[in-house]
């Protein structure tokens, strides 16, 4: 039994058509709705939270990181758009990989997408909780208890660190005012004040759980209701973002833009995970293919329009906030609100920003919560998951069981997961998916029997361009980054070697891909998408690679225990 058995495009479309006869999804989406879903997914925690840390590391030059990441995502978006036009079903990268690489890779990518949508929503829910709690405490006489705004393990860890400092003789006021330790106080208070039962402290993030429940109910009720809610939320946050850009532009001090790259390329690249996380979500549009009125025309447009609009807004926001305050002050959880609090006459706007952040992150959760059930629905149709995952609600026309299961999957980690770890792992899973989708387009282009797509990425021969780019990168590294080159060439210890494996993997992969591009005359745009996403993946660090590999191993165990034998492509047993 082959691990790489494939489904033809004709088989996938036939299966989707058969499903539609008795359990079809409701078709309500047009290009405006899809673009709005894209903006809803992209403009969220990235622009309201992680942009601050990225700006503090890279300075005003963080705009180049946004542009580079946008280009990488745009290259990948062309690949998604071509596949979405060719295979207009609700499987996204999972279905595309099934056609291009076979069942094993399809399972791997389906399992990886859980990290992007379901696990990624854990991050968004926790960020939403932080903004909501701050908004309540700053605008009302009420305050949510610390033990209702934090996960158990973070609170316990913070308590132990503060207790250790107090035991060592450090005054509490010093701990509270020192930037390095001030962030521990909330967890210290949460663990200390939490109610106990039989010695067990009750600490959980209530707002995060509540918003997850509300979003799950909304997604369960129907795509039309989700669309209407998304469009309203997108309109609100676009108005606020444009207001921030317009008002903030009058308070920009160009002296804050000098030096433009204060920490060099090393400091700039520190923010690559945070910046990429700001773009995660545009691919979720492709999971709504079966709910589009004209998917082959509208899906490519919606994907590309949303990335273009969001990139312009990101660059403008980054220039404004790094111009209003010095970049070194932006390592805060709410950078947009922070910069307006610094200007007395604009403090009213910080409250408006906080409200829009709450709306923005709720819209991100909505799109992610739409995407995950539809991936599971497609996997269930293929037999890789139990039939319950493909069950369609008779009244609401949504994948009911998958939607409820997604809500539960998001809720459980909220009790104990660290937000920073989830962000990086989520980025790793998404970048891996992007690499496979770009590679899938290249593979299909080599198949003379592949059906024509209504949307086709413009072909530019990369035969000489990709190898030339590799040579150029090596030359530039030796000329401008000698210290970096010496670091990676020098063997210090086995542990140091392990930390360099992601970069070594990228360089080896770049060499192999350059040879293949020369031999097979690959198309340039998907080639650049694969290389850019692989490069960003190599910058996430070896620990994230390790966590991601562990996650994939768990997925493979499930596949070999259940999915492989239950697949619709598995040979039928003869009695």
Measured between alpha carbons, how far is 14 from 10 in angstroms, rounded to an integer?
6
Is 95 found in the same domain as 183? no
Euclidean distance between CA atoms 101 and 41, whole angstroms: 28
With respect to residue 196, please indicate whether it lies within any of the assigned structural domains.
yes
Examine the domain organization and report whether 499 and 355 are in the same domain: no
Helix, strand, coil shares of the chain as percentages rounded to 5? Answer: 75, 0, 20
Domain count, the chain: 3
Asked if 334 and 365 sit in the same domain, the reply is yes
* 247 and 282 assigned to the same domain: yes
Indicate whether 574 belongs to any domain: no
Six token digits for residue 305: 């329009």
Q: Indicate whether 377 and 241 sit together in one domain.
A: yes
Any domain includes 459: no
> pLDDT tens digits, residue range 351-397?
777 787 788 788 888 878 888 888 888 888 888 999 999 888 888 88
pLDDT tens string 203-254? 888 898 999 999 999 888 877 777 788 788 888 878 888 888 888 888 888 8
Mark whether 437 and 546 lie in a shared domain.
no
Query: Are residues 459 and 523 in contact, defined by beta-carbon separation less than 8 angstroms?
Result: yes
Q: What is the pLDDT of residues 132-188, one digit of tens each?
A: 887 787 777 888 888 888 878 888 888 888 888 888 888 888 888 776 677 778 888
Count the Cβ atoms, other than its own, within 10 Å of residue 235: 13
Indicate the average pLDDT of the chain.
81
CA 95, 96, 100, 106 torsion-angle sign = negative
Residue 335 belongs to domain spanning = 9-15+32-129+223-381+418-445
Mean pLDDT confidence for 84-99: 78
Residue 512's pLDDT band (cuts 50, 70, 90):
very high
* 430 falls within a domain: yes
- Cα(55)–Cα(62) distance, rounded to whole angstroms? 6
Same domain (yes/no): 47, 94: yes
The reply to whether 140 falls in a domain is no
Task: Tell me the Cα Rg of the chain.
Answer: 24
d(CA 338, CA 342) in angstroms, rounded, equals 7
**Closest to 25 in 3D by CA, of 397, 400, 388, 395:** 397
Task: Give me the helices (H) in 168-205, please.
Answer: 172-177, 185-193
Same domain, 254 and 167: no
78 belongs to a structural domain: yes
Tell whether 146 is covered by a domain: no
Same domain, 302 and 429: yes
Q: What is the pLDDT of residue 15?
A: 66
| Same domain, yes or no: 329 and 423 | yes
Classify the phi-psi angles of 332: left when phi > 0, otherwise alpha if psi is within -120 to 50, otherwise beta: beta
In a domain, 393, yes or no: no
pTM over 0.85: no
Q: At which of 138, 170, 203 does a domain end? A: 203
Domain shared by 290 and 423, yes or no: yes
205, 126 Cβ separation under 8 angstroms: yes
Contacts of 183 (CB under 8 A, 6+ apart): 158
Same domain for 167 and 103: no
- Calpha distance 509→501 (Å, rounded): 12
Chain centroid to CA 213: how far? 21
CATH label of the domain that carries residue 65? 1.20.1740.10
């Amino acid at each position: 039994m082959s691990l790489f058995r494939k489904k033809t495009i004709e088989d996938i479309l036939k299966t989707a058509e058969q499903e539609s006869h008795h359990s079809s999804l409701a078709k309500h989406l047009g290009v405006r709705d899809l673009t709005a879903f894209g903006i809803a997914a992209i403009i969220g925690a990235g622009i309201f939270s992680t942009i601050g840390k990225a700006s503090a590391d890279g300075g005003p030059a963080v705009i180049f990181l946004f542009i580079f990441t946008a280009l990488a995502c745009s290259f990948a978006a062309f690949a998604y758009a071509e596949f979405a036009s060719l295979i207009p079903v609700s499987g996204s990268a999972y279905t595309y990989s099934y056609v291009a690489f076979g069942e094993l890779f399809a399972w791997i990518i389906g399992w990886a997408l859980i990290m992007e949508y379901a696990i990624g929503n854990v991050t968004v829910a926790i960020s939403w909780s932080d903004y909501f709690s701050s908004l309540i405490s700053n605008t009302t006489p009420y305050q949510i208890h610390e033990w209702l705004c934090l996960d158990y393990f973070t609170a316990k860890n913070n308590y132990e660190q503060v207790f250790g400092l107090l035991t060592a003789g450090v005054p509490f006021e010093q701990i509270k005012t020192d930037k390095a330790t001030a962030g521990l106080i909330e967890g210290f208070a949460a663990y200390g004040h939490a109610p106990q039962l039989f010695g067990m402290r009750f600490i959980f993030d209530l707002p995060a759980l509540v918003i997850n429940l509300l979003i799950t109910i909304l997604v369960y009720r129907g795509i039309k209701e989700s669309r209407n809610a998304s469009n309203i939320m997108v309109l609100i946050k676009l108005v606020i973002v444009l207001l921030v850009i317009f008002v903030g532009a009058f308070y920009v001090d160009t002296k804050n833009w000098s030096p433009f790259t204060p920490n060099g390329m090393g400091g700039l690249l520190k923010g690559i995970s945070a910046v990429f996380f700001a773009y995660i979500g545009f691919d979720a549009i492709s999971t709504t293919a079966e709910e589009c009125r004209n998917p082959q025309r509208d899906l490519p447009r919606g994907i590309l329009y949303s990335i273009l609009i969001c990139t312009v807004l990101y660059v403008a926001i980054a220039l404004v906030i790094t111009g209003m305050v010095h970049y070194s002050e932006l390592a805060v959880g709410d950078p947009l609100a922070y910069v307006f609090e610094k200007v007395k006459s604009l403090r009213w706007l910080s409250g408006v920003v906080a409200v829009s952040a709450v709306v923005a992150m709720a819209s991100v959760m909505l799109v992610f919560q739409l995407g995950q059930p539809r991936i599971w629905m497609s996997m269930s149709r293929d037999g890789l998951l139990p039939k319950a995952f493909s069950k369609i609600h008779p009244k609401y026309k949504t994948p009911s069981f998958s939607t409820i299961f997604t809500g539960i999957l998001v809720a459980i980690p909220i009790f104990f997961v660290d937000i920073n770890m989830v962000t990086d792992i989520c980025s790793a899973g998404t970048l891996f998916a992007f690499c496979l989708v770009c590679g899938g387009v290249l593979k299909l282009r080599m198949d003379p029997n592949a059906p024509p797509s209504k949307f086709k990425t413009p072909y530019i021969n990369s035969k000489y361009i990709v190898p030339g780019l590799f040579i150029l990168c090596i030359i530039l590294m030796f000329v401008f980054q000698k210290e970096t080159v010496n670091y990676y060439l020098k063997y210090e210890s086995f542990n140091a070697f392990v930390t360099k494996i992601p970069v070594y993997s990228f360089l080896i992969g770049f060499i192999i891909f350059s040879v293949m591009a020369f031999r097979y005359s690959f198309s340039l745009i998907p080639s650049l998408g694969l290389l850019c996403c692989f490069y960003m993946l190599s910058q996430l660090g070896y620990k994230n690679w390790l966590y991601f590999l562990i996650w994939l191993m768990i997925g493979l165990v499930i596949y070999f225990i259940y999915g492989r034998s239950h697949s619709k492509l598995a040979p039928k047993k003869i009695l």
